[in-house]
């Protein structure tokens, strides 16, 4: 297949926009040919997943672009890094790793990226619109943008997402195109719940992530969510246990007003019925920790806590007596944190053990003070990754039970 390039694409490739733009375009063209796309398309924004330090190669790549005078061509947000730059000293890392990790975050800013440092860019002023073409990294952000907003992005990995931002272009393939956004597999929910819990959405996400493979899932019978945070939890879980980058919820998400809309008038390749027992089993696999187990910490906000989630959390904290010693870490975006501070919402909350974390997340870097006990979370994504990433035992539960457990000092779960 011959790749069609615009005059501007060719001028970038020829170095007329500088060596960094030329390098980014060369890499992007190679990638585009590899995936079989015949052309490039304009993007309205990008979200970069390469700020978390994994080794020298990532830093070398970004610094080479900086040295070549590179600048992103579209509004570009940044995923979490290895440090909370708002709260110096929170992350504990050897100097040999700290210096390049901080440099990696700074280098992205030198390319003109926005200092968002959040896994939830859809909670910032850079939230895309329905139908906009974007190039996003970070699995939960991708599935949220495609599913809940109806923007269009593939699952872009490190380096390719930045090449898209540097050129303002992306391959015309995959979920950028109408024909690839139709549903392929149908999940029918046999659940009637007028006030569905957060864990229900997590459990549904876990099930469809494991069963969908690379097919776009359609969910029929999903209870009406309280807000988009419950859809955020569903998408994050589905992207964690599988390769889901787009789901349709009939009557809820914007491209699925009807079942026919979701499948573009075609029939599903497979239909799977999900029962409450299926959901309970998927949630049980997140944690084998029994009630009463000693608690070391609580970690919330993976993906990053929204302002609305904070407004549900803070009253729960006030219900418990101040002075408890089980820390409650809450990962959130710096824009959300700034808003809360301006509102005075966090004043005095340290007395309840609250520790806000910005710019990073407790499951990807050394923040938790203790790793020798159980950490409780309401996040399916955190519960899935933290044991392997930081070596902790995890108890999963609703947010209210996490706060009750922090007050009690051991795992407490509500009777089902």
Tens digit of each residue's pLDDT (9 = 90 or more) over 65-85:
999 999 999 999 999 999 999
- Asked, for residue 68, whether it belongs to a domain, the answer is yes
| Domain identity same for 16 and 70 | yes
- Within 10 Å of residue 200's Cβ, how many Cβ atoms? 24
Distance CA 162, CA 168 (A): 10
pLDDT < 70: residue spans in the chain = 1, 321, 324, 415-416
Contacting residues for 267 by C-beta, under 8 A, at least 6 apart: none
- Asked, for residue 341, whether it belongs to a domain, the answer is yes
Distance CA 406, CA 224 (A): 30
Write down the pLDDT at residue 193: 79
Nearest-10 crossing angle of helices 56-67, 95-110: 30
| Domain identity same for 120 and 190 | no
- Asked, for residue 289, whether it belongs to a domain, the answer is no
Domain boundary among 162, 178, 194: 178
- Asked, for residue 416, whether it belongs to a domain, the answer is no
The domain of 348 spans: 295-408
Write down the pLDDT at residue 114: 98
37 in Cβ contact with 124 (< 8 Å)? no
| Domain identity same for 51 and 146 | yes
| Domain identity same for 17 and 120 | yes
Write down the pLDDT at residue 92: 87
pLDDT tens digits along 253-279: 999 999 999 999 999 999 999 999 999
Write down the pLDDT at residue 93: 86
Write down the pLDDT at residue 415: 65
Tokens of 6: 């615009």
Continuous segment of H or E residues that includes residue 53: none
- Asked, for residue 414, whether it belongs to a domain, the answer is no
Contacting residues for 94 by C-beta, under 8 A, at least 6 apart: none
Write down the pLDDT at residue 224: 95
| Domain identity same for 190 and 157 | no
| Domain identity same for 80 and 161 | yes
Which 3 state secondary structure label does DSSP give 333? coil
| Domain identity same for 256 and 362 | no
CATH number of the domain within which 112 lies: 3.30.499
| Domain identity same for 186 and 171 | no
For the chain, the domain total comes to: 3
133 in Cβ contact with 152 (< 8 Å)? yes
Domain boundary among 178, 196, 218: 178
| Domain identity same for 39 and 25 | yes
| Domain identity same for 142 and 66 | yes
Burial annotation 341-379 (CB, 10 A radius, 16+ → b, else e): eeeeeeeebeebbbbbbbbbbbbbbebbeeeebbbbbbb
């Amino acid at each position: 297949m011959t790749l069609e390039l615009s005059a501007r694409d060719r001028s970038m490739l020829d170095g007329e926009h500088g060596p960094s733009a030329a390098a980014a375009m060369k890499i992007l063209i190679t990638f585009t040919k590899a995936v079989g796309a015949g052309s490039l398309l304009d993007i309205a924004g990008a979200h970069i997943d390469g700020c978390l330090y994994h080794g020298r190669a990532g830093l070398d790549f970004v610094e080479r672009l900086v040295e070549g005078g590179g600048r992103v061509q579209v509004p570009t947000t940044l995923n979490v890094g290895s440090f909370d730059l708002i709260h110096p000293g929170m992350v504990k890392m050897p100097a040999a790793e700290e210096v390049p990790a901080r440099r990696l975050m700074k280098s992205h800013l030198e390319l003109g990226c926005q200092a968002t440092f959040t896994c939830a860019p859809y909670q910032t002023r850079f939230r895309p619109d329905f139908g906009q073409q974007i190039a996003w990294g970070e699995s939960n952000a991708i599935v949220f943008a495609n599913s809940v907003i109806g923007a269009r992005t593939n699952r872009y990995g490190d380096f390719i997402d930045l090449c898209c931002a540097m050129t303002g272009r992306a391959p015309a393939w995959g979920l950028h195109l109408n024909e690839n956004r139709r549903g392929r597999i149908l999940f029918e929910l046999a659940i009637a719940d007028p006030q569905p819990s957060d864990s229900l959405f997590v459990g549904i996400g876990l099930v469809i992530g494991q069963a969908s493979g690379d097919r776009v899932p359609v969910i029929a019978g999903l209870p009406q969510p309280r807000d988009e945070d419950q859809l955020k939890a569903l998408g994050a879980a589905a992207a964690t246990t599988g390769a889901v980058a787009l789901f349709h919820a009939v009557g809820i998400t914007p491209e699925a007003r009807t079942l026919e809309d979701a499948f573009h008038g075609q029939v599903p390749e497979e239909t799977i019925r999900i029962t409450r027992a299926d959901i309970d089993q998927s949630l049980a696999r997140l944690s084998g920790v029994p009630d009463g187990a000693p608690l070391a910490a609580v970690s919330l906000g993976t993906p990053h806590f929204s302002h609305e989630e904070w407004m549900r959390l803070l009253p729960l904290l006030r219900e418990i007596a101040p002075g408890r010693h089980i820390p409650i870490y809450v990962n959130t975006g710096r824009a959300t944190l700034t808003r809360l501070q301006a509102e005075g919402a966090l004043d005095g909350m340290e007395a309840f053990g609250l520790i806000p974390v910005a710019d990073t997340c407790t499951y990807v870097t050394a923040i938790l003070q203790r790793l020798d006990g159980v950490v409780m979370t309401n996040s399916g994504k955190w519960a899935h990754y933290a044991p392997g990433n930081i070596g902790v035992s995890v108890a999963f539960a609703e947010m209210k039970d996490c706060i009750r457990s922090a007050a009690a000092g051991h795992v407490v779960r509500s009777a089902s």
